[in-house]
């Protein structure tokens, strides 16, 4: 059932079939794909979908649903239901895509124009997220199995050749790191401890800025509201918290909105947060007011094994559907969040 609350009011909209959205299969979709980190690429105009198990980085055109697959990553014949195999995280920088492969424990360089892997470098241990830090021209890779973030310097690409990557440092993160997001304006990185708290790191000095309670029994997804530098923390038990690092990690808002949340999406133009939860089989759309207040705008039915979402800039939320071996494209009907409830 799909219901909606306008500015927190209990208004109910018409229901629709479950799960909602347009089903788009990825390359080598059967018998399922262990999705994790979904990304939107403004420069390519594509949704980036690392296909754990399938050995493919899928690029999806948002309006048509066309899928182009870049192959060459590790593959696994069986689907276990998790996302511990093959490519599971991606970020872009200066015309290249960088992809972690959990099976081979490598960081690959992908040229999207050539639709090919053009380089790779070994990682210290099993990776989770990869994020580009433009301030220092580095790639930061979270490695929970080593309780650390590994940092790679990125050379300059010459004549289209892939940039050289070199491991230059590690940052210890006890009881973590879970998830990773970069604030390029303020020069900060944020990650979670597995329980209860969020960590801030200065990307230039690599020094710890602070550890702040996030209210999570099980910390999972993380996002950034760039205007104020607020950090959004998604909890597996189904809550969303807004933290303000500029005020010592002050909690601006907490909202209970479902269950089973992990990777979330944030649409900057509309200030909408997308929370996909398998435990509630739902995609919850949350408005983030300029005051920092959260409010549920609406809810859609989602696959029962979903746990990740991302936003494009075309008014869509994208929800992973692991057992379907694809994603669901959901059109967001709610207005931009321009005021407070």
Measure the CA–CA gap between 301 and 328, rounded to whole angstroms: 11
Helix (H) or strand (E) run with residue 324 in it: none
Domain total of the chain: 1
pTM of the model: 0.92
pLDDT for the residue 232: 98
- Name the residue among 83, 84, 107 with its Cα closest to residue 96: 107
In a domain, 89, yes or no: yes
Give a yes or no: residue 114 inside a domain: yes
- According to the model, what pLDDT value does residue 82 have? 82
Rounded CA gap, 284 and 257, in Å?
7
Chain mean position to CA 234: 11
Give domain status of residue 128, yes or no: yes
Does residue 300 lie within any of the structural domains? no
Check residue 4 and report its DSSP letter: -
40 three-state secondary structure: strand
Taking 70 as the pLDDT cut, the residues of the chain under it are 1-17, 338-341
Q: 295 in a domain, yes or no?
A: no
pLDDT of residue 4: 25
Q: Three-state SS for 247?
A: helix
Q: How high is the pLDDT of residue 338?
A: 58
91 located within any domain = yes
**150, 139 Cβ separation under 8 angstroms:** no
Q: What is the pLDDT of residue 83?
A: 85
The encoded tokens of residue 338 equal 């321009």
- Closest among 109, 102, 203 to 155, alpha carbons compared: 109
Expressed as residue numbers, the domain containing 124 is: 42-53+62-172
- Integer Cα distance of 276 and 263 in angstroms: 8
CA-to-CA distance for 233 and 210, rounded, in angstroms? 15
pLDDT score at 70? 98
Q: Is 140 helix (H, G, I), strand (E, B) or coil?
A: strand
Residue 127: which CATH number? 2.130.10.10
Q: Does 22 reside within a domain?
A: no
């Amino acid at each position: 059932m799909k219901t909606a609350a306008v500015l927190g009011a209990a208004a109910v909209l018409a229901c629709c079939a479950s799960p909602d959205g347009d089903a788009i299969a990825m390359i080598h979709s059967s018998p399922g794909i262990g999705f994790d980190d979904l990304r939107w690429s403004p420069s390519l105009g594509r949704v980036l979908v690392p296909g754990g198990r399938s050995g493919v980085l899928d690029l999806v055109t948002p309006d048509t649903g066309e899928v182009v697959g870049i192959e060459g990553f590790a593959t696994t014949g069986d689907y276990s239901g998790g996302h511990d195999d093959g490519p599971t995280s991606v970020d872009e920088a200066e015309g290249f895509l960088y992809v972690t492969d959990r099976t081979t424990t490598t960081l690959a360089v992908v040229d999207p124009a050539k639709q090919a892997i053009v380089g790779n470098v070994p990682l210290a241990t099993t990776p989770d997220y990869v994020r580009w830090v433009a301030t220092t021209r580095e790639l930061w890779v979270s490695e929970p199995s080593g309780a650390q973030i590994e940092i790679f310097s990125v050379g300059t690409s010459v004549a289209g050749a892939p940039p050289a990557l070199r491991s230059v440092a590690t940052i210890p993160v006890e009881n973590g790191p879970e998830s990773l997001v970069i604030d390029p304006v303020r020069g900060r990185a944020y990650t979670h401890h597995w329980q209860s708290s969020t960590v801030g790191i200065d990307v230039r000095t690599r020094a710890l800025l602070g550890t702040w309670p996030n209210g999570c029994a099980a910390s999972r997804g993380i996002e950034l509201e760039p205007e104020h530098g607020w950090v959004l923390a998604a909890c597996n038990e189904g809550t969303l918290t807004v933290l303000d690092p500029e005020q010592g990690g002050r909690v601006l808002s907490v909202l209970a909105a479902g269950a089973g949340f992990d990777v979330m999406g944030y649409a900057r133009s509309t200030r909408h947060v997308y929370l996909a939860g398998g435990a509630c089989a739902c995609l919850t759309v949350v408005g983030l007011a300029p005051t920092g207040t959260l409010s549920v705008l609406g809810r859609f039915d989602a696959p029962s094994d979903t746990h990740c979402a991302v936003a494009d800039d075309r008014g869509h939320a994208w929800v992973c559907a692991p057992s379907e071996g694809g994603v669901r494209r959901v059109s967001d009907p709610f207005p931009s969040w321009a005021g407070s409830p």
